[in-house]
Chains A and B, each alone.
Chain A
Amino acid sequence: MIDNLILGFQTAATPENLLWCFLGVFLGTVIGLLPGLGSTTGVAVLLPLTFAFEPVTALILLAGIYYGAQYGGTITSVLIATPGEAASVVTTIDGYQMARKGRGGAALAIAAIGSFIAAILSLALLMTLAPPLAQLAVRFGPAENLAIMILGLVIVITFQGGKLVRGAMMAMVGLLLAAVGVSTGFGEARFTFGDTNLLSGIPFVEVTIGLFALGEVLHQIRVGAAAPIKTSFREMMISGKDVRRSLPAILRGSGVGFVLGILPGAGSTLASFMAYGIERRVSRNKENFGRGAIEGVASPESANNAAANANFIPTLSLGIPGGATTAVLLGAFTIYGLQPGPLLFETQPALVWGLLVSFFIGNVVLLLLNLPLAPVFAQMLRVPYGYLYPVILLTSIIGAYAVSNNTFSIWIVLVFGIIGWIMKEIDLPMAPLVLGLVLGPLLEKALVQTSAAGAGNLGILFTSPISATMLALGAALVIAPVVIRRARARVAARRAAERQASSFIDS
């Protein structure tokens, strides 16, 4: 273990590699800042450039881009409510509220710190436990995956607090929208009305851009443009108190992210939503969630970073990509003449450990680069909104086009921009809709697979201990608050009755 780490550091920590890592993080951050472009695209686009390098240097550069792009997406989520990827949708809920209160710098800083802590913890677990964890992950079959998705949806719906019905409604709308397109397993086109563009379904990145960016701009125009944020540079900085307050959220987020990240397919989006949902229930500061709670930024950001790292567990120890970006990286392995698979740890120790160490270095560089820059980025909000709005509109539309090089995407953004505005006006939550849309195809796939595996019988959902436990947990989440409220009401009623009775006796 120690020998391997030393080997890794020897391979990765050369001045040349550090320079490329730094450049990679920088380029990645720039790519992530552009709406619609995320880490997968960044890695895929810059992949050919790395062919001229040694494999280790190339992978370090790519790892830098990967982490940089994820963070870049966070910056836009917080500052202008435009998430670059589905995994940073939840961050906008509290991040943007913080930015509106002049605490954008702190939100960005805690995102960087949270991501860093999550990365270090998950990398340590990855280095020590990858092969056994991977063996555990493949035990998750269709039934277990289906149960996880259901649990995820329940957590997200119930985290809306008093708006349970509205949250459930929007999640269902999201699931319905996800039904558009070619169906899993049968390959039939549904609700496409003969339009080729709709064959691939309603694209969630464009929907997210529309709902959040365009919807917010339209809403702001109606309520009257808010004054630019006036705070001193000092207030933009993060305080020690902020960090202490966020620490439990970061640790819980890392845990949730890591567990979901190991499972191929579940991915970092579900992880960030679930971490937020859990935090909203257990945090001491829960009443401030949705109004700019720093824990609401720390927890999903830690979760998606931990999930991104845990994604490498199936990738490195089984040769199975855990997510879109790792699939691209796995492709890169073959191009460098490496054979991804269970033997990679044994046949290429210098490379694997070099890569793991470079993940570590990438995260350190990311923190060093972005912690001082966070207040600087946040200064952007000093620009009067009259100037900022056109820029947001322009980047949203260019970003949407960039997703698929297709004008169809622009229409999606416009339509969902208007829908997002209406939803804001009548106070409907948008996050469950996005999650429904993202989870829809995965849920359907798990459902079709479970039903195929059980020959049309979904009974295996209840006979598998893992999925039965998760379903029970989901049911408890829905029922428990009602039961507790009833119980409390009954106790209160009894006390009131007793008081009345006693006062009657007294008089």
Chain B
Amino acid sequence: MKSPSTLYAGSALVISAVLLTGCASQNSQSEGEFAPSGNVVVTVPFAAGGGSDVSGRAVAAGLEEATGLSITVENREGGAGAVGYAHFQGQEGRDNALLAAELALVSLPLSQEVGFDYTSFTPIMNLGSDYALLVTAGDSEFETCADVVEATRSETVVTAVSGATGIDAITISLVEQDQDVEFDRIPYESGGEVVAALLGGHVDVAPLNPSEVAGQLESGDLRALCAFSEERYEYEQLADVPTAAEQGIDVAFSQFRGFIAPGGISDEAREYWIAAAETYAESDAYRSYIEDNMMQPNALFGDDFVAFLEETNADVQAALG
């Protein structure tokens, strides 16, 4: 709904920082000669509180630690991310701007006329991947994803998807293409709504990220049938969940999270941010971000991240048809 502004957020933060401790100032080190000009702003193209916001704030805190700069977060939500990315496009050439990127960077340009794609920006770092689990109610008759696919051949199976071009919709499309079946889809707008729909019996199955359902899986209210990942999860709670491939469904698709700089920045600026990202990737803060959100670590920097985006772009294009 609403998002913090630099002005008010800044002043509120200053007031409270003074109230709290009278924090000591940082500004310890600066690598090499180059340093970004002015205060660094991380744009989050989604509302406060969501997965993008969490990753944007983790990146801001981690880079603050790595560089000694002061870094603030700004939410510019709207249009499934389009508003934030469009704003970021207007920041071309600025070396003190970053954006917390995710799948929308690739899926938006493929589904809407937005005037940008991933080549309009300078990718810096991929943090990790978030895969979907196919989840069903605790008392459901389904035991495996193969059961679900089999059921679609004789009856209607209703699945929830949040977002028309998000990871849910893409994963379901990939399953449909792989198995030549069709699901009935009910659109929702957030993982929380989808969990409620599963608990209330309004949908039969739903793809969800592990962090969205960990509590329900533990309590037994919901069950995970399979994970759409290449390999099984190593997290204790998820180690027993088989991959879709083990059940004969050859689908693995992940939502990446990372951060990018605007297009047209200098080579020094790009190198600077990549170096800062590498320092961050070694930190405890990075590890706890990945683990708290039950993601798979997949730190990629600069050109490797670009190559990864090219691959993702091809996958999404195929899935969205």
Contact = CB atoms under 8 A, between A and B. Distances in A.
A204 to B, nearest CB: 9
A199 B45 CA distance: 13
A404 B76 contact: yes
Contact of B196 (A186, A199, A314): A314
Contact of B12 (A27, A185, A324, A406): A27
Interface string B290-308: 0011000000000000000
Contact of A327 (B50, B163, B188): B50
Contact of B164 (A42, A49, A185, A341): A185
Given A200-B79, A405-B76, A339 B215 contact: yes
A25 to B, nearest CB: 13
A205 B77 CA distance: 14
A199 B82 contact: yes
A445 B114 CA distance: 23
A138 B201 CA distance: 8
- Size category of the A interface is 35 or more
A42 B13 CA distance: 10
Interface string B112-123: 111100000000
A342 interface: yes
Nearest to A34: B8
Describe A's contact surface by its main secondary structure: helix
Contacts of A40: 1-2, 48-49
A198 to B, nearest CB: 8
Interface string A41-52: 110111011001
A341 B192 contact: no
B54 A406 contact: no
A182 B79 contact: yes
A455 to B, nearest CB: 7
Interface string A131-170: 0000001111110000000000000000000000000000
Contacts of B186: 142, 449, 452-453
Given A44-B48, A46-B16, A38 B292 contact: no
B22 interface: no
Given A197-B83, A264-B193, A331 B6 contact: no
Contact of B49 (A27, A44, A265, A406): A44
Contact of B2 (A27, A37, A319): A37
B8 A37 contact: yes
A138 B200 contact: yes
B116 to A, nearest CB: 10
B165 A264 contact: no
B111 interface: yes
B19 interface: yes
Interface stretch (B145-153, B216-224, B260-268, B276-284): B216-224
Contacts of A445: 187-189
Nearest to A138: B200
B50 A318 contact: no
B319 interface: no
Interface in B98-157: 111-115, 156
A402 B79 contact: no
B269 interface: no
B287 interface: no
B160 to A, nearest CB: 9
A194 B61 CA distance: 36
Nearest to B169: A187
Given A196-B83, A200-B83, A343-B219, A331 B49 contact: yes
A430 interface: no
A49 B20 contact: yes
B57 to A, nearest CB: 7
A140 B15 CA distance: 43
A140 B86 contact: no
Contacts of A405: 3, 5-6, 74, 76
Interface in B186-204: 186-190, 192-193, 195-197, 199-202
A458 interface: no
Interface string A316-352: 0011110010011011001101011111100000000
Nearest to A46: B16
Interface in A461-496: none
B311 interface: no
Contacts of A402: 5, 7-8
Interface in A21-63: 23, 27, 30-31, 34, 36-38, 40-42, 44-46, 48-49, 52
Interface string A3-35: 000000000000000000001000100110010
B38 interface: no
A353 interface: no
B2 A41 contact: yes
B48 A196 contact: no
A46 B164 CA distance: 32
A404 B48 contact: no
Contacts of A398: 7
A437 B200 CA distance: 28
Interface in B1-50: 1-9, 12-13, 15-17, 19-20, 47-50
Given A23-B19, A199-B82, A404-B3, A342 B13 contact: no
A189 interface: yes
B65 interface: no
Contacts of B292: 334-335, 337
B42 to A, nearest CB: 12
Given A42-B12, A320-B192, A401-B5, 6 more contacts: A184-B189, A187-B111, A321-B192, A324-B47, A343-B218, A452-B186
A-B interface, 6 closest residue pairs, ranked by CB to CB distance from nearest: A341-B215, A200-B78, A199-B79, A187-B164, A185-B187, A44-B48
Interface of A: 23, 27, 30-31, 34, 36-38, 40-42, 44-46, 48-49, 52, 137-142, 181-182, 184-187, 189, 194, 196-197, 199-201, 203, 205, 264-265, 314, 318-321, 324, 327-328, 330-331, 334-335, 337, 339-344, 398, 401-406, 445, 448-449, 452-453, 455
